[in-house]
Amino acid sequence: MTKGLRLVLFGPPGAGKGTQAQLLRERLNLTHISSGDLFRHHLGLGTPLGLRAKEYMNRGDLVPDEVTIDIILEKVMSIPSDGGFILDGFPRNPNQADVLDKKLAADSRDLDVVVHLKVSESELLNRLGGRYICRDCQSPHSIGEGEDTTDKKCDRCGAGLYQRDDDAPAAVMKRIEVYNEETTPLLGFYQQRGVLVEIPGDHSVDRVNKLIMTALNS
Supply the residues annotated as catalytic. 17, 92, 131, 164, 175
User: What residues contact 4, with CB distance under 8 A and at least 6 apart?
Assistant: 81, 82, 83, 84, 109
Q: CA end-to-end span of the chain, whole Å? A: 9
CA angle 72, 54, 121 (to 5 degrees): 85
Task: Compute the distance between CA of residue 203 and CA of residue 218 in angstroms, rounded to an integer.
Answer: 21
Burial class (CB in 10 A: 0-12, 13-18, 19+), 127: buried
Q: Where are the alpha helices (DSSP H) in 94-184?
A: 94-106, 121-129, 169-182
User: What residues contact 34, with CB distance under 8 A and at least 6 apart?
Assistant: 18, 21, 88, 89, 138
